[in-house]
Structure 1
Amino acid sequence: MDGSITGHRPRAAAPVGADGLAARRGEAVERAALPAARRPGTAGSESDTPAANALDGMPRQRTARAAAATPTALSAGTVANATAPVPSALSADPAAASGAPAPSAAPARARRPGSPAARAAQAVGRLLPTPFGTPFTFGYALVLTVTSYVAGHADPAVVRALHQASSTDVAHLVRYPVAVLFASALWIVGGILSPYAAGFLLVLTALERRIGGVRAAGVFLLGHVVATLATEVPVGLAVWAGHLPGSSLHRFDYGISFGVAASVGALAGLLSPWLRWPLLALFGSVLAEGLILLDDPMTNWGHLLALALGVATWPLVRRAARARAAAPTAAAA
């Protein structure tokens, strides 16, 4: 006995071959890919004991940096979310915290307004009738253009016969009032270049844009029909009483002037005061001048009456204009 205590002598580690080393390396790689809570030899695991750490042949766990650098440590979910933004609770930008892309800091480029020439052309275009914007005025203007061409290029005897047949004199009003009232409004006294033709285009276009084609036609017909009857009925009574000769029953009376005068009076009620009163004063002075000259007293009185009829429609046309302006807003709501 050499004095040593004979007991269990620690056995030397068995030599490990190439296959054993490869197997141990594969186990180490698998353990490195596991979460920290499930890795053997880490805090919180069942094998995190001194005895387990003191086992021979147990490879040490890699550090976090080494594990992150290992290609096999990247899971499929990590690779898939590598490009996704990581929200931070300390971020002051709500869009960044929610993962939404941040809006561009560059302000939107303001749309440049049109050139002055384009705006002027657009303003002038609104003064003239269009087939879709003002269909009544546009269609009526085409008819008047055709009749004015006929009156300027047809045989004078034919033109006189047409005017006579369309005249709203007492004889025609007694026989066929509706047809003659309609036919008399198809002619312009003086042709397409007369002042009433320009007034028709500008006034009827502006009125129709504000109250619609049906109401604009109603205002025009109101002035045309009422003023015609108001001037022709006294002529018939005067002939019957003997104050006028019988030829007065067949005098020429046609044109659009009564309708235009009523439309001017109605349009004035839709304009601002600084446009309304100068328009009424200017147009009224022109009509009054003709009445003073006594060139055609009955027709001149009819013009003033038609203007007054247009002014009397202010409550109706203003209500119609408000309803027309509110229609797009109600449709959008």
Structure 2
Amino acid sequence: MRAPAARVAGTVRRLLPTPLGTPFTFGYAAVLAVTSYVATHADPGVVRALHQASSTDVAHLVRYPVAVLFASGLWIVGGITSPYAVGFLLVLTALERRIGGARAAGVFLLGHVGATLATELPVGLAVWAGHLPGSSLHRFDYGISFGVAACVGALAGVVSPWLRWPLLALFGSVLAAALLVTDDPMTNWGHVLALALGTATWPLVRRAARTRGATAQAERA
């Protein structure tokens, strides 16, 4: 029987990303740590300019969509200690261990891109129709939260039912509370949509988890 300290160390290793076990999450986390350091220590004016240039608003999406979607995913709103940073580490590590790095990256990208376009395109149409002012084309919106929300939804599909429903209920209640108390409904609805996109991947991620589990079992045999 392993000593308690060894069991705790083993649990921590499973919860957090490692270079070999979860290379996508580990590499992405390293990039986010660097950009968070820059955001904390660089001149505030420079940081704001970087964030503004990375904003996935309609004006930027029309001009250079791929570049701004990539740049937006390099920042964490609130820095490295924010809830979404912690969620990124725990959720993406757990998801990547179950379905692999490429598929975990695909789920993250689905939420990041899909929810961004679904929330920004209506803004552009509303401005074109005269229902919103032109300043709405320059909303300040960046970060990893849509991708994390999609990964929460996908992870719920590959964990045990005793964890699945509490996870969805807890995260869903946080999103619902944000819809009621904050003044940025487009972003908040984007989180809800990203979570829904993640749950829509359940057939795919479950198949991937079964295949990955069978392969690992065969290698141990």
* TM-score normalised according to structure 2 size: 0.98
Q: Which amino acid aligns with 1:324?
A: R
Partner of 1:273: 161
Partner of 1:103: none
Deviations along 1:211-262, one digit per CA (max 9) or x if unpaired, are 0000000000000000000000000011111111111111111000000000
| Correspondence 1:11-50 to 2 at 5 A | none
Larger radius of gyration: 1
Partner of 2:9: 121
Q: Does 1:308 align with 2:196?
A: yes
Q: Does 1:288 align with 2:176?
A: yes
Shift of 1:120: 1.3
> Within 1, Cα distance between the matches of 2:181 and 2:121?
23
Q: Does 1:224 align with 2:112?
A: yes
Cα root mean square deviation, aligned:
1.0
Q: Does 1:187 align with 2:75?
A: yes
Partner of 1:28: none
Shift of 1:332: 5.7
| Correspondence 1:1-333 to 2 at 5 A | 113-331=1-219
Deviations along 1:237-288, one digit per CA (max 9) or x if unpaired, are 1111111111111111100000000000000011111110011000000000
Mark the CA change 1:332 to 1:151 in structure 2 (over 3 Å): closer, same or farther.
closer
Deviations along 1:60-83, one digit per CA (max 9) or x if unpaired, are xxxxxxxxxxxxxxxxxxxxxxxx
Shift of 1:329: 3.4
> Within 1, Cα distance between the matches of 2:220 and 2:24?
26
Partner of 1:93: none
Q: Which amino acid aligns with 1:233?
A: L
Q: Which amino acid aligns with 2:129?
A: A
> Within 1, Cα distance between the matches of 2:173 and 2:216?
39
Gaps of 5+ in 1: 1-112
Q: Which amino acid aligns with 2:106?
A: G
> Within 1, Cα distance between the matches of 2:147 and 2:183?
20
Q: Report how many residues are paired.
A: 221
> Within 1, Cα distance between the matches of 2:151 and 2:220?
31
Partner of 1:82: none
Q: Which amino acid aligns with 2:177?
A: E
Mark the CA change 1:332 to 1:282 in structure 2 (over 3 Å): closer, same or farther.
closer
Give me the identity figure in percent. Answer: 84
Gaps of 5+ in 2: none
1 or 2 for the larger relative contact order (CA 8 Å, sep ≥6)?
2
Shift of 1:184: 0.2
Runs of 4+ in 1 over 6 A off after TM superposition: none
> Within 2, Cα distance between the matches of 1:329 and 1:291?
44
Partner of 1:64: none
> Within 1, Cα distance between the matches of 2:217 and 2:41?
49
Shift of 1:328: 2.8
